[in-house]
A and B are shown apart, each in its own frame.
Chain A
Amino acid sequence: MDLLTNVLNGFSVALEPTNLFFCFLGALSGTLIGVLPGLGPLSAIAFLLPATFYIPVVPALIMLAGIYYGAMYGGSTTSILVNIPGEAASVVTCLDGYQMARQGRAGPALGIAAIGSFIAGTMGVILLMLMAPPLARVALKFGPPEYSALLFLALIIVSFIGSGEPLKALMMVALGLAIGMIGTDQITGNPRFAFGIRELQDGVGIAPMAIGVFGISEVFLNVERRERRQLLKAAFRGIFPSLQDYKDSFFPIFRGSLLGFFIGILPGGNPIISSFISYGMEKKLSRHPERFGHGAIAGVAGPESANNSTTSGAFVPLLSLGVPNNAVMALMLGAIIIHGVVPGPTLITDKPQLFWGILCSMYIGNAMLLALNLPLVGLWVQVLRVPYRVLFPMILIFCLIGVYSLNASAFEMILVLIFGVFGYVMRKLDYEMAPLIMGVIIGPMLETALRQSLLLSKGNFSIFVARPIAACFLGIAAIFLMRSVFSFVRKR
Chain B
Amino acid sequence: MGRVVNIREFLSAVFLAIIGLLFCGGAYMAGIGSPANPGEGFMPLVAGAALFLLSLALLFQRTCSKKISKERNPFWPEKGSQIRVAAVLASILIYTFVFEWIGFALATFILFLFLLKTIDPVSWRNAFFISLLTTVAGFFLFQVWLQVQLPEGWISWWRISQWIF
Contact = CB atoms under 8 A, between A and B. Distances in A.
Contacts of A421: 89
A435 B34 CA distance: 29
Contacts of A171: 13, 16, 51, 54-55, 58
Interface residues of A, number: 66
Given A167-B57, A220-B89, A450-B43, A492 B64 contact: yes
A392 B78 contact: no
A408 interface: yes
Given A188-B40, A451-B42, A226 B78 contact: yes
Interface size band for B: 35 or more
Contacts of A223: 84-85, 88, 119-120
A185 B41 CA distance: 9
B77 to A, nearest CB: 6
Interface string A214-230: 00100110011111000
Contacts of A431: 12
B134 A491 contact: no
B35 interface: yes
Contacts of B77: 224-225
A446 B43 contact: yes
Contacts of A443: 43, 47
Nearest to A171: B54
A439 B54 CA distance: 15
A141 interface: no
Contacts, number: 175
Contacts of A492: 64-66
A397 B47 CA distance: 34
A177 B148 contact: no
Contact of A400 (B26, B61, B92, B116): B92
Interface stretch (A279-287, A454-462, A466-474): A454-462
Nearest to A182: B44
Contacts of A459: 34-37
B65 A224 contact: no
Given A405-B148, A458-B36, A192 B96 contact: no
Given A192-B40, A443-B47, A450-B43, A178 B54 contact: no
Nearest to A393: B115
A460 B95 CA distance: 53
A177 B40 contact: no
A181 B24 CA distance: 12
B20 A174 contact: yes
Is chain A's binding surface mostly helix, strand, loop or mixed? Answer: helix
Nearest to B66: A492
Interface stretch (A317-325, A352-360, A364-372, A409-417): A409-417
A253 B38 CA distance: 51
B48 A397 contact: no
A405 B146 contact: yes
A54 B61 CA distance: 48
A400 B84 contact: no
B61 A488 contact: yes
A480 B20 CA distance: 23
Interface in A204-261: 216, 219-220, 223-227
Contact of B99 (A404, A424, A425): A404
A397 B134 contact: yes
A408 B76 CA distance: 35
B124 to A, nearest CB: 14
Contacts of B47: 174-175, 177-178, 180-181, 439, 443
Interface in A29-61: 51, 54
A429 interface: yes
Select the residue from A177, A188, A219, A387 with max chain B CB neighbours within 10 A.
A177
B162 interface: no
A255 B64 CA distance: 44
B98 to A, nearest CB: 10
Contact of B12 (A389, A426, A451, A491): A426
Interface of A: 51, 54, 167-168, 170-171, 174-175, 177-178, 180-181, 185, 187-188, 190, 192-193, 216, 219-220, 223-227, 387-390, 392-394, 396-397, 400-401, 404-405, 408, 410, 413-414, 417, 421, 424-426, 428-429, 431, 439, 443, 446-447, 450-451, 454-455, 458-461, 488, 491-492
**Closest A-B pairs by Cβ, 5 of them:** A459-B36, A459-B35, A177-B47, A389-B120, A174-B51
Given A177-B47, A220-B89, 11 more contacts: A54-B146, A167-B61, A178-B20, A178-B48, A224-B76, A224-B85, A389-B120, A397-B138, A400-B96, A455-B38, A460-B35
20 contacts: A54-B146, A171-B13, A171-B51, A171-B58, A174-B48, A178-B20, A181-B23, A188-B40, A220-B85, A224-B78, A224-B81, A227-B120, A387-B120, A388-B120, A396-B88, A401-B104, A408-B149, A429-B8, A443-B43, A461-B35
